[in-house]
Amino acid sequence: MTDTHCPYCSLQCGMTLAPRRARGGAVLEVRARPDFPVNEGALCRKGWTAGGLRGHRERLTTPLVRDRTTGELSAVGWDEALDLVAERITELRTASGDDSVAVFGGGGLTNEKAYLLGKFARVALGTSQIDYNGRWCMSSAASAGNQAFGVDRGLPFPLSDVEQADVVVLVGSNLAETMPPAARHLDRLRERGGRLVVIDPRLTTTGERADHLLQPVPGTDLPVALGLLHLLDAAGALDEDYLAERTTGFDDVRRSVAGWWPERVERVSGIAADDLREVAALLAGSERVMVLTARGAEQHSQGTATVLAWINLALGLGMCGKPFAGYGCLTGQGNGQGGREHGQKSDQLPGYRMIDDPAARAHVAGVWGVDPDSLPGPGRSAYELLDALGADGGPRALLVHGSNIVVSAPNATQVTDRLEALDLLVVADIVMSETAALADVVLPVTQWAEESGTMTNLEGRVILREQAVAPPEGVRSDLDVIAGLASRLGCEASFPLDPEEAFAELALASAGGRADYAGITYDRIRAEQGVFWPCPDAAHPGTPRLFADAFATADGRARALVVDHAGAAEQPDADYPVHLTTGRVLAQYQSGAQTRRITDLVDEGIFVELHPMLAGRIGARDGDQVEVSTRRGALKAPARVVSTIRPDTIFVPFHWVGANRLTNDALDPMSRMPEFKVCAAAIRHVASAQRVGAS
């Protein structure tokens, strides 16, 4: 029996794994850990069934190499596979330079993997071309947090603080389905008499708990925030002492919202002016207001500006740094937080240091034993990197660890074309994902229960996933792959195979950085139910709550920054008259590479959610086949007719191939986040349910 954590989302629920023998092979039984504060004995369906990939017939257990003439993948030994990859990489670097080889990582990788992948790119490959799927997840909130507070940590307080607030405003989060055990905090909040405001174009199971539900047109959360601030200022409800002492720039912000009266917000967002007034009155009369954003607000071409607008609201009310109040972002992937702190991001080095900062380069180069001038500069962001693959001046080889790009990238047809244009695609994965299926070399890696490593959850709590079982024969860890390639490329820097050793090096590299892990060890994590960063030395208790006395800016004050509404990059028109938004369902995780293969999770398949009025207009009933098209692609899927969505909006989950053939690759100028959450679409009826069933 081993105490560890879930393989999936950013809650990183505590679980105990009990391996046992059963008919048909080894089984990994999951039990919830009542002692772990984040989940207190609860798990969601995905957590309970997480053992399902253990011994699965679709587990990859041998490296595969594609035959250049037949195009078929066939099994080879590890040495042959790694020799081949190293040889081709060397050829490409000689012919086209170091930036001809690129790396794509994932926010599901442990801190140790993320750290060593970044080091591998910069030191063994000498490439600037590394980024990761977290760019599609957290980057807008990260950019806003850095600008406003001087630091980016998802929640600057423990998750359980939520229940002690007076009002919680959830902007674009469906946490009852995306992190179900966290919903208990909303329930307890309401039992205490606290109020919940949910902002989402759909009424979700999260929205069902709300005292106030605002259903805006997708992509209009920014004017909603501006309108609320306008009303609060007009009512004299802002905390002037706090603003004077703890912020800079607020006067400009105040002037900038003067024109956002409620009727104007109503015209843009579809939210009734009176509903906005009611919410403003609730906020004005509350001591402790907490604003939490998630992907619904952030995955937009104005995602960063939107988060900044909501931060301005929280600052205006004097909430940031106050107990049980403030602003936070609900991060997403298991290591969504740590994954971006240790060097997978194209512009960052470990410890959340910026790669173009000479002092940061000198520190990290010192730990790595290399010349600071040998470290490359910033590279391309995730989508820009993928879009440049195989193009003139773009990378010719890509190594993928921990992302199923073909399903999850925006404008996925274009991205798939780019992957196909590469000279070399190497994918390390557990299963034959849609991206691995395109690879020239597939490397079978261990999954969570088969290796140890740390993750940083949505609260900034560094936790330890302990190995519970031996990996299947033939499978190696990402750490082995990285070290095996580094040595074949003649790199002399250290690439530890032991995660604890890798963590100790990471801690050194992060020392003095914004995300300082220097005082964290595996033993401390075990003894303390995780340790919150920053934790600069062994005697430091860790930092569950940030900003009590000062923000992480040079002068200790938060920056209130003026932002204005420009609207989604693509607006509906006569050809594409509805808004398309995308997101998640409870039983599937991300690209579905893992969860679609778990038999205990029902794979309901892709669907299109639409309002009865829209369904009536196109002549479709529940279950009928409909076609959704955008300027980038089309998708046929069954209609799910629900009165819980705005009549001008349709929703498609992205866990199956298809949704991202439709989505827009417009990027946020600050975070480079793609606009997953809104584009213009057309929808038409294709066939009735009976005919679909019969065919």
Residue 199 · residue 224 · CB < 8 Å: yes
591 binds ligand SF4 (CB under 6 A): no
Dihedrals φ, ψ of 442, to 5°?
A: -115, 130
What is d(CA 490, CA 106) in angstroms, rounded to the nearest whole number? 26
Two tokens, residue 632: 């980038």
Tell the burial category of 687 from Cβ atoms under 10 Å away from its Cβ (0-12, 13-18, 19+).
middle
**Considering only CA atoms, which of 67, 694, 8 is closest in space to residue 439?**
67
Query: At closest approach, how far in Å is the CB of 509 from ligand SF4?
Result: 27
Residue 398 · residue 389 · CB < 8 Å: yes
What is d(CA 20, CA 54) in angstroms, rounded to the nearest whole number? 11
Q: How many helices (H) and strands (E) does the chain have?
A: 23, 28
Query: At closest approach, how far in Å is the CB of 107 from ligand SF4?
Result: 13
Residue with smaller CB distance to ligand SF4, 459 or 665: 459
332 binds ligand SF4 (CB under 6 A): no
477 binds ligand SF4 (CB under 6 A): no
Instruction: Output the DSSP codes for 487-531.
Output: HHTT--S---SSHHHHHHHHHHHHTTSSS--TT--HHHHHHHTSE
51 binds ligand SF4 (CB under 6 A): no
Residue 417 · residue 171 · CB < 8 Å: no
Two tokens, residue 436: 């691995």
**Considering only CA atoms, which of 222, 237, 262 is closest in space to residue 316?**
237
Tell the burial category of 544 from Cβ atoms under 10 Å away from its Cβ (0-12, 13-18, 19+).
middle
Query: At closest approach, how far in Å is the CB of 126 from Mo ion?
Result: 30
Residue 136 · residue 324 · CB < 8 Å: no
Q: Which of 92, 179, 265, 349 binds ligand SF4 (CB under 6 A)?
A: 179
Residue identified by tokens 């890509």 is 398
Q: Which of 4, 17, 47, 169 binds ligand SF4 (CB under 6 A)?
A: 47
Span from 10-18, 153-161, 186-194, 503-511 in contact with ligand SF4 (CB under 6 A): 10-18
Q: Which of 355, 445, 504, 560 binds ligand MGD (CB under 6 A)?
A: 445
Residue 352 binding result from ligand MGD, ligand SF4, Mo ion, none, given CB thresholds of 5 to 8 Å by partner type: none
Residue with smaller CB distance to Mo ion, 333 or 595: 333
332 binds Mo ion (CB under 5 A): yes
Describe the strand order of the beta sheet including 2-5 as a list of residue ranges: 2-5, 14-22, 25-32
Q: Report the b/e string of 482-499 with b at 16+ CB within 10 A.
A: bbbbbebbebeeebbeeb
Q: Which of residues 150-179 bind ligand MGD (CB under 6 A)?
A: 171-175, 177-179
455 binds ligand SF4 (CB under 6 A): no
Span from 40-48, 121-129, 460-468, 527-535 in contact with ligand SF4 (CB under 6 A): 40-48
Residue 538 · residue 378 · CB < 8 Å: no
Residue 469 binding result from ligand SF4, ligand MGD, Mo ion, none, given CB thresholds of 5 to 8 Å by partner type: none
Q: Which of residues 489-548 bind ligand MGD (CB under 6 A)?
A: none
404 binds ligand MGD (CB under 6 A): yes
458 binds ligand SF4 (CB under 6 A): no
Residue 163 · residue 189 · CB < 8 Å: yes
Q: Which residues pair with 579 in a beta bridge?
A: 649, 680
455 binds Mo ion (CB under 5 A): no
Q: Report the b/e string of 377-396 with b at 16+ CB within 10 A.
A: eebbbbbbbbbbbbeeebbb
Span from 3-11, 276-284, 327-335, 385-393 in contact with Mo ion (CB under 5 A): 327-335
Query: At closest approach, how far in Å is the CB of 382 from Mo ion?
Result: 12
Q: Which of 4, 28, 36, 44 binds ligand SF4 (CB under 6 A)?
A: 44
Q: Which of 43, 53, 578, 657 binds ligand SF4 (CB under 6 A)?
A: 43
Residue 12 binding result from ligand MGD, Mo ion, ligand SF4, none, given CB thresholds of 5 to 8 Å by partner type: ligand SF4
Residue 294 binding result from Mo ion, ligand MGD, ligand SF4, none, given CB thresholds of 5 to 8 Å by partner type: ligand MGD
What is d(CA 328, CA 307) in angstroms, rounded to the nearest whole number? 10
Residue with smaller CB distance to Mo ion, 330 or 525: 330
Residue 43 binding result from ligand MGD, Mo ion, ligand SF4, none, given CB thresholds of 5 to 8 Å by partner type: ligand SF4
Query: At closest approach, how far in Å is the CB of 655 from ligand SF4?
Result: 13
507 binds ligand SF4 (CB under 6 A): no
**Considering only CA atoms, which of 12, 194, 64 is closest in space to residue 474?**
64
458 binds ligand MGD (CB under 6 A): no
Query: What x-and-dash track marks residues 285-324 binding ligand MGD by CB under 6 A?
Result: ---------xxxx-x-------------------------
Q: Which of 32, 82, 124, 137 binds Mo ion (CB under 5 A)?
A: 137
Residue 572 · residue 677 · CB < 8 Å: no
Span from 168-176, 178-186, 366-374, 530-538 in contact with ligand SF4 (CB under 6 A): 178-186
Residue with smaller CB distance to Mo ion, 333 or 477: 333
Residue with smaller CB distance to ligand MGD, 394 or 471: 471
Residue with smaller CB distance to Mo ion, 137 or 314: 137
CB proximity list for 373: less than 8 A, separation 6 or greater:
none
End-to-end CA distance of the chain: 49
Residue with smaller CB distance to ligand SF4, 190 or 584: 584
Residues touching ligand MGD, count (CB under 6 A): 64
The identity of residue 217, as a single letter, is V
CB proximity list for 57: less than 8 A, separation 6 or greater:
none
Pairing mode of beta strands 195-199, 212-214: parallel
Neighbours of 125 (CB within 10 A): 25
448 binds ligand SF4 (CB under 6 A): no
677 binds ligand MGD (CB under 6 A): yes
Q: Which of 12, 304, 337, 594 binds ligand SF4 (CB under 6 A)?
A: 12
594 binds ligand MGD (CB under 6 A): yes
Residue 298 · residue 307 · CB < 8 Å: yes
335 binds ligand MGD (CB under 6 A): no
403 binds ligand MGD (CB under 6 A): yes
Residue 4 binding result from Mo ion, ligand MGD, ligand SF4, none, given CB thresholds of 5 to 8 Å by partner type: none
Tell the burial category of 690 from Cβ atoms under 10 Å away from its Cβ (0-12, 13-18, 19+).
exposed
Query: At closest approach, how far in Å is the CB of 163 from ligand MGD?
Result: 18
Q: Which residues pair with 247 in a beta bridge?
A: 558
Span from 8-16, 163-171, 347-355, 630-638 in contact with ligand SF4 (CB under 6 A): 8-16
Span from 136-144, 361-369, 602-610, 651-659 in contact with Mo ion (CB under 5 A): 136-144
Q: Which residue pairs from 81-84 have beta carbons closer than 8 angstroms and sit at least 24 positions apart in sequence? A: 81/441, 81/443, 82/481, 82/484, 82/485, 82/488, 83/488, 84/441
In the complex, which residues of this chain contact ligand SF4 (CB under 6 A)? 6, 8-9, 11-13, 39, 43-44, 46-47, 179-181
Site residues (vs ligand MGD, CB under 6 A)? 9, 106-109, 133, 136-137, 171-175, 177-179, 199-202, 204, 216, 218-219, 221, 294-297, 299, 332-333, 401-404, 407-408, 428-431, 433, 445, 478, 581-584, 586, 588-591, 593-594, 651, 654, 659-660, 663, 676-678
List of residues contacting Mo ion (CB under 5 A): 137, 332-333
